[in-house]
Amino acid sequence: MEPLLEAGEMRELDRWAINEKKVAVDELMERAGEGLAGVVARRAPAGRIAIVCGKGNNGGDGIVAARLLRQAGREVEVHAVWPPEWMGEDAQAQIKKLPGPKPIPFEAGRLNKVHVIVDALLGTGSSGVPREPAAGVIKEMEAARAPVIAADIPSGVDATTGEVAGPAVHCVATVAFHRPKLGVWIRPGKGYAGDVEVVEIGIPRGGPARPDAGLIGAGVLRDMPRRASDSTKFSSGNVFIIGGSRGLTGAPSMSALAAMRAGAGYVTVGAPASLELSFTVRLLEAMMIGLPEDGSGHLDPSSEEQLLKAISRANAVVLGPGLSKDPGAQALVRAVVPRIDVPLVIDADGLNALVGHVEEILPQRRWPTVLTPHSGELARLLDTTSEEVERSRLRHAREAAAITKAFVVHKGDDTLVAAPDGRVAISRGRAPGLATAGTGDVLAGVIGAMLAKGMPVAQAACAGVYAHVRAGQIAAAPHGPDGVIASDVISALPAALSA
């Protein structure tokens, strides 16, 4: 994974580089400003530039960029939100080197006359609701017609969590110094960052920071077990899908198909017996086991022992797709979850069945568990609202993982894979074709296949997320994302896994 830093970790690295490795502050600032200027010049090769500077080192980086851009012949205005004498010594030293006009006090309306804006206002040390005068300046940048490029982090976005507590700046690009910060990859902050471009600023390798977060990369598939000449359908992974109810047979079918396309050699669906025909016509290559039901097409608690016997040969189980919110089916979930002695993926109505019971049921499990909630499902598990979850996605994903002792795959464009110990892996996303019904069932099936192949739970979850996103991108490539359906994503899985 590509490491992502929290604001405190970045400060620690800065101190280490300056105090122990004797890297001069002005050298770090020079390289940051140089990288920032390069991105601005490339993205806005002509026109007037406004650089909005705060009083911290972020403002000093903006001053350096202004100097270099002026030396390259560009017309640059430097707007000081606070008096320049309020800046630190290093930033003030950069002002003395600035050719042409010195920084001018920020005035409302001035940004409407420029072609590009550089946000060097608050930096990574800021959190919470911005106070005046910064709040007013942020609103001015947000209202201006010109595109904005951020220095390290868009002002108003929490660099550690991606939370946005008040006004914030939507940027076309964010220039990350040394390493990207967590907040530019987690929504809502991700929606403000635009393209993230990383520039090296001279911090040596090593250092005290040991990030607990990172971006999932293609390398996560490198160690995925592949079929060989001596493989059998059972050694390739045996996945059992539990779900389905009257009117909801599509979800478990898609999970089963996705598991097969992700390489599982043997897949079985356990569903209400009366629905056998629905599965038989859809799933030519999968087995179907009819289980006792309540007479209305829902699984019944009386099927507990028969179900546990049916999954005895499985390497992994996916529980929940299409299960319904029927009280009997949900009681069955609560009864079997502690007794399933293989890795388990719980999705959809399997999650809803655990609402109010997660702390008493999930920590009992001896085998790995992966939960795959969207924000609404995660909110119900944590007894909060989906709006609150969306405001603080990282905090809630980590909280759920800690409470349940499970890996939580919090779905979204920035899908988070949170481990019980606080580590988190983040998807780069950018697969809008996945915003359609059924793709969550596909993801559950893919992760189930990865677990059935014997992959460690963290790697299986991350590999499933990566393959799912890549398949969504491949499915959208011919005609765009709007026409993509979940079946297209399933069909694209082999290509995604081979890539």
What contacts 330, CB < 8 A, 6 or more positions away? 323, 349, 352, 353
Average pLDDT over residues 479-485: 97
Domain boundary residue among 146, 180, 212?
Answer: 212
Q: State yes or no: 383 annotated in a binding site.
A: no
Q: How confident is the model at residue 295 (pLDDT cuts 50, 70, 90)?
A: confident
Q: Has 294 been labeled as part of a binding site?
A: no
Query: Residue with structure tokens 């897949």?
Result: 267
End-to-end CA distance of the chain: 17
Q: Are residues 193 and 255 in the same domain?
A: no
Residue 142 and residue 283 in one domain = no
| 263 carries a ligand binding annotation | no
- Give the domain range for residue 18: 2-212
| Residue 73: Cβ-neighbour burial (10 angstroms; 0-12, 13-18, 19+) | exposed
Cα 404 → chain centroid: 20
Q: What percent of the chain has pLDDT over 90?
A: 97
> Amino acid identity, residue 313?
R
Predicted TM-score (pTM) of the model is 0.95
Question: Do residues 264 and 406 share a domain?
Answer: yes
Same domain, 40 and 92: yes
- 270 annotated ligand-binding residue: no
Rounded to whole angstroms, the Cα distance separating 374 from 107 reads 43
pLDDT of residue 204: 94
Task: For residue 412, say whether it is annotated as part of any ligand binding site.
Answer: yes
Q: Is 296 annotated as a binding residue?
A: no
Residue 124 annotated as lining a ligand binding site: yes
| Residue 411 marked in a binding site | yes
Q: Which two tokens stand for residue 362?
A: 């999930």
Q: Give yes or no: residues 294 and 161 share one domain.
A: no
Are 365 and 437 within one domain?
yes
Residue 57, annotated as binding a ligand: yes
Query: 136 labelled as ligand-binding?
Result: no
Cβ contacts of 418 within 8 Å, gap of 6 or more: 394, 397, 398, 400, 401, 407, 408, 410, 424
CATH at residue 343: 3.40.1190.20
Quickly tell me which residue has 């200027």 as its tokens: 37
Domain boundary among 147, 181, 212: 212
Q: Is 251 marked as binding a ligand?
A: yes
- Kindly state whether residues 35 and 157 are assigned to the same domain: yes
pLDDT-based confidence at residue 435 (cuts at 50, 70, 90): very high
Q: Which residue among 165, 190, 212 closes a domain?
A: 212
**Are 473 and 359 found together in one domain?**
yes
155 labelled as ligand-binding? yes
Same domain, 174 and 275: no
| 214 carries a ligand binding annotation | no
CATH code at 145? 3.40.50.10260
Task: Specify the 3-state DSSP secondary structure of 497.
Answer: helix
Q: 499 pLDDT exceeds 70? A: no
Whether 73 contacts 138, CB under 8 Å:
no
Q: Flag whether 33 is marked binding.
A: no
Range 401-409 average pLDDT: 98
Q: Does residue 38 have a known ligand-binding role?
A: no
Q: Nearest CA to 196 among 146, 149, 145?
A: 149
pLDDT by residue (tens digit) across 124-145?
999 999 999 999 999 999 999 9
Q: What is the mean pLDDT of residues 145-156?
A: 98
- 40 a known binding residue? no
313 and 378: one domain? yes
Q: How does the average pLDDT of the chain come out, rounded?
A: 96
382 and 457 in one domain?
yes
With CA atoms as reference, report the closest residue to 344 among 317, 326, 321: 317
Q: Is 446 annotated as a binding residue?
A: no
327-368 pLDDT, tens per residue?
Answer: 999 999 999 999 999 999 999 999 999 999 999 999 999 999
Question: What is the total count of domains within the chain?
Answer: 2
> Is residue 152 annotated as involved in ligand binding?
yes
> Contact 121/137 with Cβ under 8 angstroms?
yes
Which residues fall within 8 angstroms of residue 471, CB to CB, at 6 or more apart?
A: 442, 489, 490, 492, 493, 495, 496
Closest by CA position to 169, among listed 102, 126, 121, 230? 121
Per-residue pLDDT of 201-222, as tens digits, reads: 999 988 888 899 999 999 999 9
Best CA proximity match to 370, nearest among 467, 468, 449: 449
Q: Determine whether the annotation assigns residue 374 to a binding site.
A: yes
Tell me, yes or no, whether 341 and 481 share the same domain: yes
